[in-house]
Structure formats: structure tokens, C-alpha cells
Structure 1
């Protein structure tokens, strides 16, 4: 019976992309790298294109061929190889989670840091169940109540990265104050509960929250929200945009402008202390103004 084709999972794609970059930096062709490993050229090409597997021990040997010496590089890529075919908890929700969303959850679970500029919504990693339910229902109006409930479960399950024992995700969320003033007609208390959640989660040492005030000066974020996702070791950063048609990723050299934009957006926002004070004011009744 022929072997089943290798599925190019998002981890396998990230591993292949990183190995290709390291090979190019080492000045080696596909054939030269393959020969150093005792392989044929097509195998190297398939690994870099995520259509073939590579074992952690092979990653270690390949990195030595490329002249790598940083232990963090070895650890990060060996872990990617080890987990490349592993199914995540979100696979249980494959009936409601799109492939693009599943890819992002996988990336988020591997990430070291996320910096999110959110001008319209509270970031998903900080949402309460009630807020998530209201917003998901408003955005995905063709979903059944059962599907909405499942998507809420997914959103809440994602938040485990903030407290994972293996090293919590660092989250820096910059939220526009306008996002904190939404009204929910059916459940008026939804936003107040959500604001309390922001104050509670801000106590985590790995979570930083800033508010962009209504009277802020112009900054690069006026063009729309995005998430800058950073990975350990040599795995390249990426940027995520979301809209009604799905997710769009920016990678490679195109990430650099967003890194600069994040610094300018942070500088335009309230300080962390003033941001939390403003949220506390809104909890006490400011949302009714």
C-alpha cells in the first residue's frame, strides 16, 4: 500500500521556510545541502516546500551543515520538526473552524510574543464568553446557535496560551478606546464585565494593555488593525490582518514596516498606568457617557 502524502501543516511550512533561509545564508544550493546530508536533491526541495517530513535529529545535522551554533536555533527548529504532524486541540472543532483560522491558532500556540493593535474589538485572547458570543454572532450572521457556541469555546480555549506552564505567551494589546464603548442591547452588562476582565488579566506579568484615547494624534494604526506575531529562535515573524473574507498574512521583509509602526502606535497610546485607570473609570460608569 503506497504511503499517504505528507500534509503541509503550518508548522511544517514554517520549518521549511526557515531551513531554506538558513541554507541561503550559508551559501549552499539544494544539491550541495542534500549531498552534505547524504540525500538526493529532491528530498531537500520537498522538505523546504513542506511536502516531506524531517526528523529532529536530521534538523540538528542539517543546522550543523549550515554552520548554526546558537542553542536557541536548534531548540526552536527541532521542536517544530517534532510537532510538525501533531494535531492540536482545535482539530476537534474542524466543522466550524476554517483552515485559515486553524493555521492562526497553530501559529499562536507556537508564538513567543504577540503585539496586537485592535481599533474596533477587544482582542480575542482577552475576551469574556459573553463578549465573544455577541461579537461572533454579529460577524458570522449565517452561523447556527450551535456553531456560534462552538466558536466561543474555541476563542476561550485559545486564551490558555497566556498561562501555559511551558512559558506563557507575551501579549501586548493596544486597544482603541472606542472599542470599549460598544453597546450590547440584549445584555447591557456585557461590556462592563469585559472591562473588568481587562483589569483582571492585566495583572498577569506577561500581559500589557494600552488604550488609544479618543483624542489621540494621528499614527500608522489609523489604516487598520493587525497582529505582529513573534516566534522563538530563527523562525521569522509575521503579521496577520483579519476581515470578513478571512485572514491575510505578511511575511519576510514586508514585516519590518509593521515593527516600526507598532512602536509609533505604542507611543501615541496612553501609558499602561493611565490606560488601566481609564478602564477602571469606564467600569464605574464611564461607558454610559
Structure 2
């Protein structure tokens, strides 16, 4: 970022492949916008300088298009960015931004509204989620996920269902990586463990899976169960996910609001803080994390 009176710098954003290409693309997009503003140029002027359209400049500055190395080099010349370290870091980010997204192997069955969340969650330092209806997607077993997906898409062929399940199964891997894994704090409504999804065996094995994950990932996974007594605090009818990133000055918080058909994203600071307050309130009224294992074991007994 730029201090007062200084040119903006991207050196504070590290080259971290495990964060995924979307994070690098988003950080670079914001940096290019700041460089243009620091140079005192309007998008229209810049577009003329590099023989492109104003719409292309807008897409580059919002991360909605791929970056062509030669085009970025020309932009840096226009913005008079001469520092070799800055240009080298930008070249690294351009290269990283061009890599395939985590969802692309499953592109045929990845909903458009889910792609931004899947692309950005590997770069998160901390994820807070609230799920009032189901076990959160990161934590589902394969058979539980298949049952849920079939219920939502009863006419899809088995191959497409399997692809969606495979996509969901790989999301937990980011918590298992050795380099800067996110921390997931998941708040789940207690009724999730009473609501039958598939057979009693499916529910039993799902709860066993949660217990195993808590044992495997004691530092990365924190699961809290909200009882019915939370009242109005738990009356939110849809899942919420709040992402906070390792480099908040380059990557602002992201909020994902899931709807039955689609999703809404919020990244304005006022919206982010509002939803973070809602999630913090839910965390405050949910059962303490130390009780989660005992509560899951009680739920497990009901499905024997």
C-alpha cells in the first residue's frame, strides 16, 4: 500500500501459491488501480496509452479478466513504476494469477455463484460460518454430501452428482496444508444433528466424521453448536460465511450469503462488519467449544 506522499507498493503482498490465483489476481487488480490513481490518470487516458478499451482497464482493476504480461508491463511504464523489485513482484503475481482455479477441474458442475467463495477461501486466515440447516460443506462426508446434492438436484445424472461431491470433498484439504492453513470457526444449529439426511447410518457416520476431524485438526477447526434457546440470534434462515485474509490491506474481508438458488457477496467494510457482528453474536450464545465433543457424542447415540 502507499504511505502519504509515496507511490503505492505491492511488496507487502507475498507470492503464496497455496492462496490460489484469485487472491493474487485481486491484489494485483487493486494495486494497478492505485498506481493509476497515483499517476493522476483517468481510465480513458490509460486505455489510449496502451491501445485498449476503457472497459478492459476497468476489468483489469477489478480482477474480472486475466492479465497479459506485456499489457501489464506497458501499464507499469505508463504509471512510471521503475523499481525493479516492484516490477519483479508484479510479474510473479501475473504468473500466479494465470494458474487454474481450485474449482476448474470441476467447472462443468461448479455453480457460478459459488466460484468466488471457492476461489478465495484458500487465501483466508480465518473463516467464520453459520449453518442453520446442514453440516457445513467443508465438513461433510461423501455420502452425506451426495444425499444433500441429490435432494437439491434430483434430475441430474449420477456423473454430475459425483463431480459436485468430489468438488465438495476437496475443500477440507486447505485446513490440512502445512503452509498457513486457514482457521475455520463453524457455528451449527443443534437441529442439524436431529434432521435426518439419508439413512440413520449416514447421520451416524457423519457425526463420527466430525469427531474425527476435531481430533485431527485441533488448531484449524473449531466447531460450536447453537441450541434452540439462542432464540432470535439463531433465526437467520440462510448460511453466512465471513472470510478474513492474511493481508487485509490488499484483500478486504468477504461475506458470502447463500440463497436457495444463488448467492450474494458483500465486501464493503460496513457490510463486512455488520455480518461479523452477527456471527460474533452467534458464537457468544452458542455452546462453548469445549462442550462440542460431548454434544456430538450425545447426538451420535440417537442414531445408533
State the TM bucket, normalised to the shorter chain.
0.7 to 0.9
Partners of 2:125 and 2:182 within 8 A in 1? yes
Map residues 126-145 of structure 1 onto 2, 5 A cutoff. 126-145=139-158
Any gaps of 5 or more consecutive residues in structure 1? 1-8, 67-73
Partners of 1:31 and 1:40 within 8 A in 2? no
Quote how far apart the aligned CAs of 1:158 are: 1.5
**Aligned with 1:191 (options 203, 206, 211):** 203
Decide whether aligned partners of structure 1 residues 270 and 20 sit closer, same or farther in structure 2, where only a CA change above 3 A counts: farther
Distance 2:262 2:276 in 1: 22
Decide whether aligned partners of structure 1 residues 40 and 28 sit closer, same or farther in structure 2, where only a CA change above 3 A counts: farther
**Aligned with 2:236 (options 222, 229, 239):** 222
Any gaps of 5 or more consecutive residues in structure 2? 1-20, 82-87
May I ask how many residue pairs the two structures share in their alignment? 263
The superposition leaves residues 233-263 of structure 1 with CA deviations (integer Å, 9 ceiling, x where unpaired) of 1301111112232222111122110111111
Match of 1:244 in 2: 260
The superposition leaves residues 61-93 of structure 1 with CA deviations (integer Å, 9 ceiling, x where unpaired) of 89xx99xxxxxxx98x88754421111343222
Partners of 2:102 and 2:118 within 8 A in 1? no
Distance 1:222 1:91 in 2: 31
**Aligned with 1:114 (options 103, 107, 127):** 127
Quote how far apart the aligned CAs of 1:54 are: 6.9
* Runs of 4 or more consecutive aligned structure 1 residues displaced over 3 Å after TM superposition: 9-13, 20-24, 26-32, 38-47, 49-52, 77-82
Distance 2:189 2:251 in 1: 30
Match of 2:188 in 1: 175
TM (norm. structure 1) is 0.77
| Root-mean-square deviation (Å) | 3.5
Partners of 1:18 and 1:236 within 8 A in 2? no
Match of 1:231 in 2: 245
**Aligned with 1:156 (options 154, 158, 169):** 169
Decide whether aligned partners of structure 1 residues 164 and 80 sit closer, same or farther in structure 2, where only a CA change above 3 A counts: farther
Quote how far apart the aligned CAs of 1:281 are: 1.1
Match of 1:200 in 2: 212
TM (norm. structure 2) is 0.73
Partners of 1:217 and 1:268 within 8 A in 2? no
Deviates more, 1:190-199 or 1:77-86: 77-86
Partners of 1:117 and 1:221 within 8 A in 2? no
Partners of 1:114 and 1:169 within 8 A in 2? yes
Decide whether aligned partners of structure 1 residues 235 and 78 sit closer, same or farther in structure 2, where only a CA change above 3 A counts: farther
**Structure 1 residue 211 corresponds to structure 2 residue 225:** yes
Quote how far apart the aligned CAs of 1:142 are: 2.5
**Aligned with 1:86 (options 76, 99, 106):** 99
**Structure 1 residue 258 corresponds to structure 2 residue 275:** yes
**Aligned with 1:270 (options 282, 287, 291):** 287
**Structure 1 residue 18 corresponds to structure 2 residue 30:** yes
